[in-house]
Amino acid sequence: MLNAAVLPITEPAANDILSSASASPSSDPATYLHNLNALRAFQPAIAKIIDQTPIPATVRCVEARDRTTALQLQDPSGRMMWFGGSSMPSISAEEMFSTATDSGGNVTLPGILTGLEPLVLARRLPECRAIFVVESNPLFLKLAMRLHDFVALFSRGRLVLFIDDDLPKRVNDFFQTYPGFLLPTQIFRVPQRTSAEIFELQGRLEAIGEKVAGLQAEALNAAVGRISRRSSPEIPEKPRVAILGTDASPGSFELADRIARGLKKLGWTHSVCVPESPGKCHIVARVNAMARIDADVALWINCRSGPVTSLVPSIPMVAWYSLDALISLVESDAHSSELLMISERQARGFDSAIAKTCIEVMAPAADDTVFHPLTADERDAALEIDVAIVANLPDDDPYHCGVSLPSLVSVWQVAQRMIQRDPDGYDASLAASIIEQAERECGIAFQDAKIREQFERNVRDRIAPTTIARADAEAIANAGFRVSIWGDNWKDASLKFAVGHGPIPSPSKLNQIFNGMSIVVIPTGGDSDTQIALDAMCAGACVIMRGASPNDADRGLIDPALNPYFHGYCSRPELIANAKRLLSDRDGRMASSIEARKLVLSRHTLSHRITQIVNRLRIR
């Protein structure tokens, strides 16, 4: 629970009413109506009560001490009081939730308070988390809806309003309508409520929660019943596919979107339920997504199917992992009915007996529904320059990686400088010797073998790839090419020689980049980088990629026919030579790009990977 100080009340000057959470005054009367319409679509019964609640003539619109627009109301004795109990709402709301983190589940807020608190809290919580406001006075909800813009929160189910007149019924009705929400797991302590009031509300919510859990169990059984009656033991030619997940990371959402687009191109019916909003987080939501389309196959994104496998054993389950996901297997997986789709690199090191029964190795694939050549009129002329570097670099900041002791930071930084001196001479086999030399220079010696192993892994997986990629970018820019960079962890110091554009953008924007650049350079060599390369080829771009061979053991691609189109390089001089050769021969570059695109479309799209999965399931 969180605590916050009670702020004093002073008499301010009058002003207009806020229309958003930005704390800039506005007299726009549409704010309340926009909120009301959004709430009607989400919680119509609550919206009706709020709309029918009159606003007393004594309510005053004023300027608060923090220069935001606020309201004052009369208390029973006739004294004017601040709405929400704060004369500085923008400051008190931020302080109240300054220690709130994105861990944990849904939360309960004991009252709407000044109205800013739900907005501040929503910014600190993941998109899949909801704020349940329990308010005894509907007038306060109406006033908050006149001050602040809650439309986005209502529309995504992130702000749920309960009027505390008949709380058990209100909560029960909500979960009857939206069984995919999770119950709140914590209630915040706020200065406007006494400890006794918080404790009493918490007790009531716990009792109500037990009944809601029973309601959700009934909903789950009903959904399972619909699936078991409709499932067929054989997978049809065009199976109905449910895309499901419990992982709330952006990478999982992106993969789910890519797969959905691939299924749409195949013409296969599909549904998607990943926890991108609060209403898609309970197991009921996932099973309902299967029942809604009479699913023949369930694809789980970056997670296992868990208890759903035993609930609906007739539905084949597939765990499809992102190319950079961490995966673990146990001995019991050898007898699991679930199929894991992972890259060749991810499959290394697993026991062969386990891998043989439950793993299907899958190469990266292009999303041909988004990445394609554009006409001259469709292209963004501002993006037509020589070289685009597209790569998310590993974070090589020691402090971000949990290394904070000065002696260990020194070893880390010495290792960085050693690779900076000769990036072309680095090889993964040198990681151990680099750490040994760094130890000697720093005058320390690792006594713990695990610490040494972790440092060697950091050299291989973080320090070296990022240091080498930055050196490559600097080299090609210094050779006279116009260079633009997209991706994470390209530090300011490394962008003095090129134009940095921030994170890799949305697929449609990235397609514009691939179409505008003469050459796309990918200075890293992981599976996700190979996927970027395939997307670029699908867009008709010419790709230069670091690595002796795009199909070597570290690349994870299993099609030698792609080798000529990656224009691989192992050193900065080779990178520059490739770039000069390709830029000087436009016709040859375009012809190569056309052939590369044909090859990708014939073998390496998401449709091919989805078909690979289904064919594997048919022979299991």
Confidence at residue 475, expressed as pLDDT on a 0 to 100 scale: 93
User: How much is the pLDDT for 16?
Assistant: 32
- pLDDT score of 288: 96
Q: Which of 19, 300, 44, 319 is CA-nearest to residue 173?
A: 44
Measured in degrees and rounded to the nearest 5, phi and psi for residue 63 equal: -95, 125
Cα 559 from Cα 601, distance rounded (Å): 13
Axis-axis angle for helices 30-42, 44-52 (nearest 10): 140
53 CB-near residues (< 8 Å, 6+ apart)? 138, 139, 141, 142
Edge-to-edge order in the sheet of strand 69-74: 60-63, 69-74, 80-82
Q: Which residues neighbour 87 within 8 Å (Cβ) at sequence distance 6 or greater?
A: 7, 8, 9, 10, 12, 64, 65, 66, 70
Pairwise CA distance, residues 451 & 470, whole Å: 27
- Which pLDDT score is estimated for 2? 35
82 C-beta neighbours (distance < 10 Å), count: 23
- Using an 8 Å Cβ cutoff, are 527 and 556 in contact? yes
226: its two tokens: 């619909």
210 φ, ψ to 5°?
-60, -40
Task: Name the stretches of the chain with pLDDT < 50.
Answer: 1-27, 549-556
Amino acid 106: pLDDT = 93
pLDDT in tens, 515-553: 999 899 999 877 888 899 999 999 999 999 998 544 444
User: Exposed (0-12), middle (13-18) or buried (19+): which is 327, by Cβ within 10 Å?
Assistant: middle
269, HSE (Cβ side, Cα atoms, 13 Å): 14
Over residues 265-317, the pLDDT tens digits come to: 999 999 999 999 999 999 999 999 999 998 999 999 999 998 999 999 889 99
Q: Read off φ and ψ for residue 278, nearest 5 degrees.
A: -60, -30
Compute, in degrees rounded to 10, the torsion defined by CA atoms 96, 98, 102, 107. Answer: 0
Phi, psi for 486 (deg, rounded to 5): -125, 135
Say how far apart CA 276 and CA 215 lie, in whole Å.
Answer: 23
pTM of the shown model: 0.86
Among residues 267, 204, 350, the alpha carbon closest in space to that of 611 is found at 267
Burial class (CB in 10 A: 0-12, 13-18, 19+), 370: middle
The residues, any chain, with a CB within 8 Å of residue 173's CB and separated by 6 or more, are 45
Specify the DSSP class assigned to residue 394.
P
**What pLDDT sits at residue 382?**
67
Handedness of CA 252, 258, 263, 264 (dihedral sign): positive
d(CA 190, CA 170): 23
Distance, in Å, from the CA atom of 515 to the CA atom of 593, rounded to the nearest integer, reads 11
